[in-house]
A and B are shown apart, each in its own frame.
Chain A
Amino acid sequence: MTRLLRGEVAKLFATRLPLWSLVTAALCGGGLTALLSLIGPENATPPLPGLDTPEGVGIVVGMSGLLLFVPALIGTIAVTGEYRHRTIGTTFLAAPRRGRVLAAKLLVFGALGVAYGVVSSLFAGLAVVAGAAVQGVELGVSVGALLALLARLALAAAVYMVLGVAIGALARHQLLAVGIVLGYFYFLEHVLMIIPGVNVIHPFLPGGATAALTDFTFLGDAIAEQLPMAAASTTSPIVGALVLLGYAVVAAWLAIAIPLRRDLR
């Protein structure tokens, strides 16, 4: 297994993927948060709570959670690239125990996901602190609470990258896998969120669990304001974290188990 991990790490660093992932993380984490912080959430249309309130900080920082499909896509593109460029054959020749190969890949990308999450959260944190300083307001939460929120976002990023790798390993075809990831996070989950009756399962979908984990109910609340229905509920952050990890474990297990019997073509 050590050999497989070393192999996967070597493969990862033989491309510029780690570098670009972290640059993307900095942009996704810092960019959106910086923009909102500098404009000032209270100047948005409609006005949002300011940075001097806990809600305001939550919305501004949690906004970067809307970009969690990015680490998922990085994982998906990386693993489907093995099929697209037919390196998967070379890989399985060197390591015929395919389950272990996928396990090593998931571990390596889990680590990259943590790095992505840490960089993304670091830049989001810096952006919100800088935004408050520029506006001359006191941040609405304690440093400890801000760090806890950022840590939860980082965890979510790592889980999404693992989910992305698993989806890629199962779909194998690059465009199909990217379509699944974008289609789900951009479209299907939002649809499920607004269908009365169906939206009771929302807290247990990846997006709902993420919202619970990061305390980010902004979208659900906004939808509820527009539609004559109750906001899609969320569970507690702990349950949200467990649900998300559960998805990652199930997806990883499928990704390890299913390719074992498939023929390469």
Chain B
Amino acid sequence: MITAQIEVSGLAKRIGDVEAVRDATFVAAPGRVTGFLGPNGAGKSTTLRMLLGLARPDSGAALIGGRRYAELSDPTGTVGAVLDLAGAHPAMTARGHLRSFAALGGHRAERVEEVAGLTGMAEYLDRRVGGFSTGMRQRLSLATALLGDPAVLVLDEPSNGLDPAGIVWLRTFLREFAAKGGTVLISSHVLTELQHGIDDLVLIDRGRTTWSGPLDAFTSHGTSLEAAFLELTSGAESSPVPTADATATAIEGIRA
């Protein structure tokens, strides 16, 4: 596998009157699963959309393997993305959907069966997407992301709608992907969802990345991940690099 690193620096984006992202700076390294954690509305999705060329940053840069997404010679062969913006047409069968996007991405038609096998949806291939459960849709989205056998996976809140077994399955899948040298960037607003499956953590709050580094280093300075998270996402507006002894206060939108 050709590896590729994600590098985001000084990314900013205003949407209407809201500064959705003010300063997002972090790295997601090959061979590691990087969690992108922040409360609802912190700017996670906007950052990922800018990384994937679906939205234009006002300033800053987001690079994958040293290039902007739009400059990649084989975009879906380099990066696979699971986003709520990347849907499937309800009238298509899963097979029709995967075939179409294999053709569009320039990938072999045999990949359709392969990715269906990888994501455990082989027996659903000839069903129409309109009748799929949320969990099956997420699997289809992941299957689509894997069509080009990418070195990088970017997932925006992929556990939404997955049952506990599905969440464990996804975690295992991503760990194995990273173990083979892949880069995984996974966003979530749910702490407990990330804490068992990630190597590195990037924290974003009110449009600004407030902390990044190995998960071990993050938990070692607090009593628990939850306490450390609450500490770092509170009052971050005034201090971009909060200290470990900042007072922990609960903020809206966090579910542990």
Residues of chain A touching chain B, judged by Cβ–Cβ distance below 8 Å, are 3-4, 6-11, 13-16, 81-82, 85-97, 261, 263-265
Task: Pull 16 A–B residue pairs with CB atoms less than 8 Å apart, ordered by A.
Answer: A6-B103, A7-B105, A10-B104, A14-B97, A15-B91, A15-B92, A88-B85, A89-B86, A89-B87, A90-B86, A90-B88, A90-B144, A91-B101, A91-B104, A93-B53, A93-B81
B70 interface contact, C-beta 8 A: yes
The answer to whether A92 touches B103 (Cβ under 8 A) is no
Residue with the highest number of chain B CB atoms closer than 10 Å, among A11, A90, A97: A90
* Interface residue? B19 (CB, 8 A): no
A96 to B89, CA, bound (A): 19
Q: How far is the CB of B58 from chain A (nearest CB, A)?
A: 11
Q: Is the interface of A mostly helix, strand, loop or mixed?
A: helix
Q: Is B75 an interface residue (CB 8 A)?
A: yes
B123: shortest Cβ distance to chain A, in Å? 19
Query: A4 — which chain B residues lie within 8 A by C-beta?
Result: 104
Interface residues of B in 49-70 (CB under 8 A from A): 49, 52-56, 69-70
A13 to B72, CA, bound (A): 28
Q: Max chain A CB contacts within 10 Å: which of B15, B52, B89, B93?
A: B89
Contact (Cβ within 8 A) A86 B86: yes
The chain B residues found within 8 Å of chain A, CB to CB, are 15, 49, 52-56, 69-70, 72, 75-76, 79, 81, 83-93, 96-97, 99-101, 103-106, 144
Q: How many Å lie between the Cα of A251 and that of B40 in the bound state?
A: 39
Shortest beta-carbon distance, A112 to chain B, in Å?
15
Known pairs A87-B89, A89-B83, A90-B88; A96 contacts B75 (CB<8 A): yes
Q: A87-B89, A89-B87, A264-B55 are in contact. Are A14 and B100 (CB under 8 A)?
A: yes
Q: What CA separation (Å) do A4 and B86 show in the bound complex?
A: 17
A89 and B54 contacting across the interface, CB-CB below 8 Å: yes
Q: Which A residues lie within 8 Å of B56 (CB)? A: 261, 263
In the bound complex, what is the Cα–Cα distance between A64 and B149 (angstroms)?
50
Q: In whole angstroms, how far apart are the Cα atoms of A82 and B88 in the complex? A: 9
B101, A7: Cβ atoms under 8 Å? Answer: yes
From A14, A94, A265, contact of B89 by CB (8 A) = A14
Measured in the bound complex, the distance between the Cα atoms of B69 and A88 in whole Å is 16
Assembly CA distance A190 to B106 (angstroms): 46
Contact B53 A263 (CB under 8 A): no
A97, B68: Cα distance in complex, Å? 12
The reply to whether A95 and B104 contact each other, CB–CB distance below 8 Å, is: yes
* B76 A94 Cβ-Cβ under 8 A: yes
The answer to whether A14 touches B99, judged by C-beta atoms less than 8 angstroms apart, is yes
The CA of A11 and the CA of B104, in the complex, are separated in Å by 9
- What chain A residues lie within 8 Å of B53 (beta carbons)? 92-93, 96
Do the beta carbons of B96 and A14 come within 8 Å of each other? yes
Chain A residues with CB under 8 A of B105: 3, 7, 94-95
Which B residues are in CB contact (< 8 Å) with A8? 104
9 A-B pairs besides A90-B101, A90-B144 with CB distance below 8 A are A3-B106, A11-B104, A14-B89, A87-B86, A89-B86, A90-B88, A93-B76, A96-B70, A264-B49
